Protein backbone atom coordinates (compact mmCIF):
# COMPACT_ATOMS: atom_id res chain seq x y z
CA UNK A 1 0.00 0.00 0.00
CA UNK A 2 1.07 3.55 -0.53
CA UNK A 3 2.82 5.09 2.40
CA UNK A 4 0.23 7.62 3.52
CA UNK A 5 2.38 9.22 6.20
CA UNK A 6 5.16 9.85 3.74
CA UNK A 7 2.83 11.28 1.14
CA UNK A 8 1.15 13.60 3.63
CA UNK A 9 4.56 14.82 4.74
CA UNK A 10 5.58 15.44 1.13
CA UNK A 11 2.40 17.44 0.50
CA UNK A 12 2.92 19.53 3.63
CA UNK A 13 6.56 20.27 2.79
CA UNK A 14 5.58 21.17 -0.76
CA UNK A 15 2.83 23.46 0.45
CA UNK A 16 5.10 25.11 3.01
CA UNK A 17 7.68 25.72 0.31
CA UNK A 18 5.12 27.23 -2.04
CA UNK A 19 3.73 29.44 0.73
CA UNK A 20 7.20 30.70 1.58
CA UNK A 21 8.42 31.05 -1.98
CA UNK A 22 7.64 34.77 -2.55
CA UNK A 23 9.54 35.68 0.64
CA UNK A 24 12.47 33.45 -0.28
CA UNK A 25 12.60 34.81 -3.82
CA UNK A 26 12.44 38.46 -2.76
CA UNK A 27 15.00 37.86 0.00
CA UNK A 28 17.34 36.29 -2.53
CA UNK A 29 16.78 39.21 -4.84
CA UNK A 30 15.34 36.93 -7.51
CA UNK A 31 11.82 38.25 -7.73
CA UNK A 32 11.28 36.80 -11.19
CA UNK A 33 10.96 33.42 -9.50
CA UNK A 34 7.60 34.59 -8.18
CA UNK A 35 6.45 35.03 -11.77
CA UNK A 36 7.97 31.73 -12.82
CA UNK A 37 6.32 29.85 -9.98
CA UNK A 38 3.02 31.53 -10.79
CA UNK A 39 3.31 29.89 -14.20
CA UNK A 40 4.19 26.62 -12.49
CA UNK A 41 1.05 26.82 -10.35
CA UNK A 42 -1.10 27.60 -13.38
CA UNK A 43 0.34 24.80 -15.51
CA UNK A 44 0.21 22.59 -12.43
CA UNK A 45 -3.53 23.25 -12.25
CA UNK A 46 -3.92 22.32 -15.92
CA UNK A 47 -1.79 19.19 -15.41
CA UNK A 48 -3.82 18.12 -12.37
CA UNK A 49 -7.01 18.49 -14.40
CA UNK A 50 -5.44 16.35 -17.13
CA UNK A 51 -4.37 13.76 -14.56
CA UNK A 52 -8.00 13.38 -13.56
CA UNK A 53 -8.81 11.89 -16.97
CA UNK A 54 -5.38 10.59 -18.00
CA UNK A 55 -4.17 9.07 -14.75
CA UNK A 56 -7.45 8.14 -13.10
CA UNK A 57 -9.69 7.64 -16.09
CA UNK A 58 -7.15 6.21 -18.54
CA UNK A 59 -8.30 8.68 -21.19
CA UNK A 60 -5.25 9.86 -23.11
CA UNK A 61 -6.50 13.25 -24.23
CA UNK A 62 -4.07 14.81 -26.65
CA UNK A 63 -6.07 18.00 -26.86
CA UNK A 64 -6.12 19.26 -23.33
CA UNK A 65 -4.54 22.59 -24.22
CA UNK A 66 -7.71 23.41 -26.15
CA UNK A 67 -9.66 23.72 -22.90
CA UNK A 68 -6.93 25.87 -21.41
CA UNK A 69 -7.19 28.06 -24.52
CA UNK A 70 -10.98 28.25 -24.30
CA UNK A 71 -10.71 29.51 -20.72
CA UNK A 72 -8.06 32.02 -21.71
CA UNK A 73 -10.15 33.32 -24.61
CA UNK A 74 -13.18 33.69 -22.33
CA UNK A 75 -11.13 36.13 -20.25
CA UNK A 76 -9.46 37.73 -23.26
CA UNK A 77 -12.57 38.34 -25.32
CA UNK A 78 -14.58 39.85 -22.47
CA UNK A 79 -11.64 42.04 -21.52
CA UNK A 80 -11.24 43.16 -25.14
CA UNK A 81 -14.86 44.33 -25.18
CA UNK A 82 -14.28 46.39 -22.05
CA UNK A 83 -11.33 48.07 -23.71
CA UNK A 84 -13.16 48.46 -27.03
CA UNK A 85 -16.34 49.66 -25.36
CA UNK A 86 -18.44 47.53 -27.65
CA UNK A 87 -20.93 44.94 -26.38
CA UNK A 88 -20.10 41.25 -26.66
CA UNK A 89 -23.49 40.67 -28.22
CA UNK A 90 -26.69 42.59 -28.67
CA UNK A 91 -29.12 39.83 -29.45
CA UNK A 92 -31.13 38.28 -27.85
CA UNK A 93 -29.79 40.15 -24.83
CA UNK A 94 -27.15 42.80 -24.69
CA UNK A 95 -24.01 41.58 -22.96
CA UNK A 96 -21.15 43.91 -22.21
CA UNK A 97 -17.57 42.87 -21.71
CA UNK A 98 -16.33 42.52 -18.15
CA UNK A 99 -13.16 42.10 -16.16
CA UNK A 100 -14.86 40.99 -12.96
CA UNK A 101 -13.00 37.84 -11.92
CA UNK A 102 -16.11 36.51 -10.19
CA UNK A 103 -17.81 36.53 -13.56
CA UNK A 104 -15.09 35.69 -16.03
CA UNK A 105 -13.29 32.95 -14.09
CA UNK A 106 -16.41 30.86 -13.50
CA UNK A 107 -17.34 31.59 -17.10
CA UNK A 108 -13.93 30.29 -18.23
CA UNK A 109 -14.61 27.09 -16.27
CA UNK A 110 -18.08 26.84 -17.74
CA UNK A 111 -16.78 27.26 -21.28
CA UNK A 112 -13.99 24.75 -20.68
CA UNK A 113 -16.57 22.31 -19.35
CA UNK A 114 -18.98 22.93 -22.22
CA UNK A 115 -16.36 22.37 -24.89
CA UNK A 116 -15.25 19.25 -23.02
CA UNK A 117 -18.84 18.04 -22.96
CA UNK A 118 -19.20 18.31 -26.73
CA UNK A 119 -15.72 17.01 -27.57
CA UNK A 120 -15.89 14.27 -24.93
CA UNK A 121 -19.36 13.12 -25.94
CA UNK A 122 -18.01 12.35 -29.40
CA UNK A 123 -14.44 11.28 -28.58
CA UNK A 124 -15.40 8.90 -25.77
CA UNK A 125 -17.24 6.71 -28.24
CA UNK A 126 -13.75 5.58 -29.22
CA UNK A 127 -10.80 4.27 -27.25
CA UNK A 128 -7.07 3.87 -27.61
CA UNK A 129 -5.34 5.47 -30.58
CA UNK A 130 -8.61 6.70 -32.07
CA UNK A 131 -9.38 8.61 -28.90
CA UNK A 132 -5.95 10.23 -28.91
CA UNK A 133 -6.36 11.23 -32.54
CA UNK A 134 -9.90 12.57 -32.19
CA UNK A 135 -9.05 14.72 -29.18
CA UNK A 136 -6.03 15.99 -31.10
CA UNK A 137 -8.19 16.75 -34.12
CA UNK A 138 -10.72 18.70 -32.06
CA UNK A 139 -7.95 20.70 -30.41
CA UNK A 140 -6.48 21.53 -33.82
CA UNK A 141 -9.91 22.67 -34.98
CA UNK A 142 -10.15 25.06 -32.05
CA UNK A 143 -6.59 26.20 -32.68
CA UNK A 144 -7.42 27.20 -36.25
CA UNK A 145 -10.74 28.62 -35.15
CA UNK A 146 -8.84 30.92 -32.80
CA UNK A 147 -6.54 31.97 -35.65
CA UNK A 148 -9.67 32.75 -37.64
CA UNK A 149 -10.97 35.12 -34.97
CA UNK A 150 -9.87 38.24 -36.89
CA UNK A 151 -11.78 40.52 -34.58
CA UNK A 152 -9.79 39.21 -31.64
CA UNK A 153 -6.38 39.47 -33.19
CA UNK A 154 -6.37 36.28 -35.23
CA UNK A 155 -2.93 34.79 -35.18
CA UNK A 156 -1.60 37.66 -33.06
CA UNK A 157 -4.10 37.10 -30.26
CA UNK A 158 -5.27 39.69 -27.75
CA UNK A 159 -3.04 41.71 -25.49
CA UNK A 160 -4.97 42.25 -22.28
CA UNK A 161 -5.32 45.88 -21.33
CA UNK A 162 -6.31 44.99 -17.81
CA UNK A 163 -6.21 42.01 -15.50
CA UNK A 164 -9.31 40.47 -13.95
CA UNK A 165 -10.68 42.34 -10.95
CA UNK A 166 -11.25 40.67 -7.60
CA UNK A 167 -12.55 42.61 -4.57
CA UNK A 168 -10.82 46.03 -4.38
CA UNK A 169 -7.83 45.66 -2.06
CA UNK A 170 -6.71 42.58 -3.99
CA UNK A 171 -4.72 43.78 -6.96
CA UNK A 172 -3.65 41.08 -9.39
CA UNK A 173 -1.06 43.42 -10.89
CA UNK A 174 0.90 42.78 -7.70
CA UNK A 175 2.83 39.65 -8.58
CA UNK A 176 2.90 38.29 -5.04
CA UNK A 177 -0.86 38.75 -4.65
CA UNK A 178 -1.49 37.06 -7.98
CA UNK A 179 0.84 34.23 -6.95
CA UNK A 180 -1.14 33.55 -3.78
CA UNK A 181 -4.45 33.70 -5.63
CA UNK A 182 -3.14 31.05 -8.02
CA UNK A 183 -1.82 28.96 -5.14
CA UNK A 184 -5.17 29.17 -3.36
CA UNK A 185 -7.05 28.05 -6.46
CA UNK A 186 -4.62 25.19 -7.08
CA UNK A 187 -4.94 23.96 -3.51
CA UNK A 188 -8.72 24.20 -3.69
CA UNK A 189 -8.79 22.31 -6.98
CA UNK A 190 -6.48 19.62 -5.60
CA UNK A 191 -8.72 19.24 -2.55
CA UNK A 192 -11.79 18.87 -4.75
CA UNK A 193 -10.03 16.32 -6.99
CA UNK A 194 -8.86 14.39 -3.96
CA UNK A 195 -12.45 14.03 -2.79
CA UNK A 196 -13.64 13.21 -6.28
CA UNK A 197 -11.16 10.44 -6.92
CA UNK A 198 -12.04 8.67 -3.69
CA UNK A 199 -15.80 9.07 -4.00
CA UNK A 200 -18.17 6.59 -5.57
CA UNK A 201 -17.82 8.58 -8.75
CA UNK A 202 -14.04 8.31 -8.58
CA UNK A 203 -14.18 4.57 -8.02
CA UNK A 204 -16.44 4.17 -11.05
CA UNK A 205 -14.02 6.19 -13.21
CA UNK A 206 -10.99 4.25 -12.00
CA UNK A 207 -12.80 0.97 -12.43
CA UNK A 208 -13.50 1.90 -16.03
CA UNK A 209 -9.79 2.51 -16.59
CA UNK A 210 -8.64 -0.73 -14.99
CA UNK A 211 -11.23 -3.12 -16.40
CA UNK A 212 -14.03 -1.64 -18.47
CA UNK A 213 -15.34 -5.06 -19.46
CA UNK A 214 -15.76 -6.08 -15.86
CA UNK A 215 -17.43 -2.76 -15.05
CA UNK A 216 -20.08 -3.45 -17.66
CA UNK A 217 -20.51 -7.00 -16.40
CA UNK A 218 -21.14 -5.52 -12.97
CA UNK A 219 -23.86 -3.31 -14.41
CA UNK A 220 -22.02 0.02 -14.78
CA UNK A 221 -22.40 2.24 -17.80
CA UNK A 222 -18.83 3.60 -17.88
CA UNK A 223 -19.48 6.18 -20.62
CA UNK A 224 -21.45 8.60 -18.50
CA UNK A 225 -18.88 8.60 -15.71
CA UNK A 226 -15.99 9.02 -18.10
CA UNK A 227 -17.77 11.89 -19.82
CA UNK A 228 -18.47 13.59 -16.49
CA UNK A 229 -14.81 13.27 -15.53
CA UNK A 230 -13.89 14.72 -18.92
CA UNK A 231 -16.16 17.74 -18.32
CA UNK A 232 -14.78 18.36 -14.81
CA UNK A 233 -11.30 18.11 -16.26
CA UNK A 234 -12.19 20.59 -19.01
CA UNK A 235 -13.54 23.03 -16.43
CA UNK A 236 -10.31 22.81 -14.43
CA UNK A 237 -8.31 23.43 -17.58
CA UNK A 238 -10.56 26.40 -18.36
CA UNK A 239 -9.77 27.92 -14.98
CA UNK A 240 -6.06 27.50 -15.56
CA UNK A 241 -6.55 29.22 -18.92
CA UNK A 242 -8.20 32.18 -17.21
CA UNK A 243 -5.22 32.46 -14.87
CA UNK A 244 -2.77 32.04 -17.73
CA UNK A 245 -4.40 34.92 -19.60
CA UNK A 246 -3.96 37.09 -16.52
CA UNK A 247 -0.40 35.96 -15.92
CA UNK A 248 0.72 36.67 -19.47
CA UNK A 249 -1.68 39.59 -19.99
CA UNK A 250 -2.09 37.99 -23.37
CA UNK A 251 -4.27 35.43 -25.10
CA UNK A 252 -3.35 33.74 -28.35
CA UNK A 253 -3.95 30.64 -30.45
CA UNK A 254 -0.59 29.20 -29.37
CA UNK A 255 -2.22 28.32 -26.04
CA UNK A 256 -4.15 25.64 -27.89
CA UNK A 257 -1.34 24.23 -30.02
CA UNK A 258 -0.79 20.50 -29.97
CA UNK A 259 2.70 21.08 -28.59
CA UNK A 260 1.05 22.58 -25.51
CA UNK A 261 -1.17 19.52 -25.17
CA UNK A 262 1.94 17.37 -25.42
CA UNK A 263 3.72 19.41 -22.76
CA UNK A 264 0.79 18.90 -20.40
CA UNK A 265 1.00 15.15 -20.94
CA UNK A 266 4.76 15.30 -20.28
CA UNK A 267 4.11 17.17 -17.01
CA UNK A 268 1.61 14.52 -15.88
CA UNK A 269 3.84 11.58 -16.86
CA UNK A 270 6.96 13.20 -15.43
CA UNK A 271 5.21 13.96 -12.15
CA UNK A 272 3.35 10.67 -11.91
CA UNK A 273 0.06 9.63 -13.45
CA UNK A 274 -2.82 9.06 -11.10
CA UNK A 275 -1.17 10.81 -8.19
CA UNK A 276 -2.84 14.28 -8.39
CA UNK A 277 0.07 15.99 -6.59
CA UNK A 278 2.62 14.53 -8.95
CA UNK A 279 1.53 16.62 -11.95
CA UNK A 280 2.23 19.79 -9.95
CA UNK A 281 5.75 18.49 -9.34
CA UNK A 282 5.88 17.58 -13.02
CA UNK A 283 4.89 21.10 -14.05
CA UNK A 284 7.54 22.52 -11.72
CA UNK A 285 10.23 20.19 -13.06
CA UNK A 286 9.29 20.91 -16.67
CA UNK A 287 9.16 24.70 -16.38
CA UNK A 288 12.28 24.93 -14.19
CA UNK A 289 14.23 22.76 -16.60
CA UNK A 290 12.98 24.91 -19.45
CA UNK A 291 14.10 28.03 -17.58
CA UNK A 292 17.54 26.73 -16.63
CA UNK A 293 18.36 24.69 -19.70
CA UNK A 294 17.21 27.37 -22.12
CA UNK A 295 20.11 29.49 -20.78
CA UNK A 296 22.50 26.78 -21.93
CA UNK A 297 21.07 26.03 -25.34
CA UNK A 298 17.99 26.81 -27.34
CA UNK A 299 17.68 23.10 -28.04
CA UNK A 300 17.00 22.48 -24.39
CA UNK A 301 14.53 19.71 -25.14
CA UNK A 302 17.48 17.53 -26.20
CA UNK A 303 18.34 17.42 -22.52
CA UNK A 304 14.73 17.16 -21.38
CA UNK A 305 14.14 14.07 -23.54
CA UNK A 306 16.64 11.77 -21.80
CA UNK A 307 15.52 13.05 -18.39
CA UNK A 308 11.92 12.19 -19.21
CA UNK A 309 13.00 8.79 -20.50
CA UNK A 310 14.95 8.16 -17.34
CA UNK A 311 12.00 9.02 -15.11
CA UNK A 312 9.54 6.96 -17.12
CA UNK A 313 11.81 3.92 -17.17
CA UNK A 314 12.95 4.02 -13.56
CA UNK A 315 9.97 5.47 -11.73
CA UNK A 316 6.65 3.84 -12.41
CA UNK A 317 4.80 6.63 -10.70
CA UNK A 318 7.02 9.46 -11.84
CA UNK A 319 8.71 11.99 -9.61
CA UNK A 320 5.91 11.73 -7.09
CA UNK A 321 6.63 8.03 -6.74
CA UNK A 322 10.13 8.92 -5.55
CA UNK A 323 8.89 11.52 -3.16
CA UNK A 324 5.84 9.81 -1.72
CA UNK A 325 6.82 6.18 -2.15
CA UNK A 326 6.01 3.71 -4.87
CA UNK A 327 2.70 2.07 -4.49
CA UNK A 328 -0.60 1.23 -5.91
CA UNK A 329 -3.80 3.15 -5.55
CA UNK A 330 -4.95 3.53 -2.01
CA UNK A 331 -7.75 1.47 -0.54
Partner 1 sequence: MLETRDLYKHFGGLVATDHVSLSIREGELHAVIGPNGAGKTTLIAQLAGELRPDGGAILFDGKDVTRTPVQRRAASGLARSFQITSVFPSFSALANVALAVQAHAGHSFRFWRRAAHDAALTGPARDALELVGLGSRAEVPAELLSHGEQRQLEIAMALATRPRMLLLDEPMAGMGPAEGASMVDLLRKLKGRYTILLIEHDMDAVFALADWITVLVHGAVIATGTPEEIRYDAEVRRAYLGEETV
Q: Which stretch binds partner 1 (CB under 8 A): 8-16, 133-141, 201-209, 312-320?
A: 201-209
| Binding residue for partner 1, selected from 86, 126, 221, 326, defined by CB under 8 A | 221
DSSP secondary structure letters along 5-53: HHHHHHHHHHHHHHHHHHHHHHHTT-THHHHHHHHHHHHHHHHHHHHII
Residue 214 interacts with partner 1 (CB under 8 A): yes or no? yes
Q: Which is nearer to partner 1, 188 or 210 (CB)?
A: 210
Q: How far is the CB of 318 from partner 1 (least distance, A)?
A: 16
Q: Which is nearer to partner 1, 167 or 217 (CB)?
A: 217
Residue 196 interacts with partner 1 (CB under 8 A): yes or no? yes
| Binding residue for partner 1, selected from 33, 56, 179, 225, defined by CB under 8 A | 225
Residue 30 interacts with partner 1 (CB under 8 A): yes or no? no
How many residues bind to partner 1 according to rule CB under 8 A?
Answer: 29
Residue 325 interacts with partner 1 (CB under 8 A): yes or no? no
Residue 207 interacts with partner 1 (CB under 8 A): yes or no? yes
Strand partners, 165: 100
Residue 328 interacts with partner 1 (CB under 8 A): yes or no? yes
Q: Write the secondary structure of 130-161 as one string of H (helix), E (strand) and C (coil).
A: HHHHHHHHHHHHHHHHHHCCHHHCHHHCEECC
Residue 89 interacts with partner 1 (CB under 8 A): yes or no? no
Residue 150 interacts with partner 1 (CB under 8 A): yes or no? no
**CB 257, CB 36: distance < 8 Å:** no
Residue 117 interacts with partner 1 (CB under 8 A): yes or no? no
Q: Which is nearer to partner 1, 65 or 227 (CB)?
A: 227
| Binding residue for partner 1, selected from 219, 259, 295, 313, defined by CB under 8 A | 219
212 CB burial (10 A radius; 0-12, 13-18, 19+): middle
Give kind and range of the element (H or E) at residue 189: helix 175-198
In sign, the C-alpha dihedral spanning 138, 143, 149, 150 is negative
**CB 76, CB 59: distance < 8 Å:** no
- In angstroms, how far is the first alpha carbon of the chain from the final one? 8
Residues that bind partner 1 (CB under 8 A): 1, 195-196, 198-204, 206-207, 210-211, 213-221, 225, 228, 328-331
Amino acid sequence: MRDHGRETLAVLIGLAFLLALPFLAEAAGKGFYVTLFTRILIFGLAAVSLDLILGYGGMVSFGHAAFVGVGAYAVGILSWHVFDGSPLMTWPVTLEGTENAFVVWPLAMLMGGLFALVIGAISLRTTGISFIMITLAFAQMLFYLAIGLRKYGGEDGIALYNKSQLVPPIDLFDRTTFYYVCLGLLVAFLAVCRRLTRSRFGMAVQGARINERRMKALGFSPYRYKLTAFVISGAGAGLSGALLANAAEFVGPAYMSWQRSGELIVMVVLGGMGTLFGPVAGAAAFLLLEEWLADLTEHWQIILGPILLFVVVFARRGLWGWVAGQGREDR
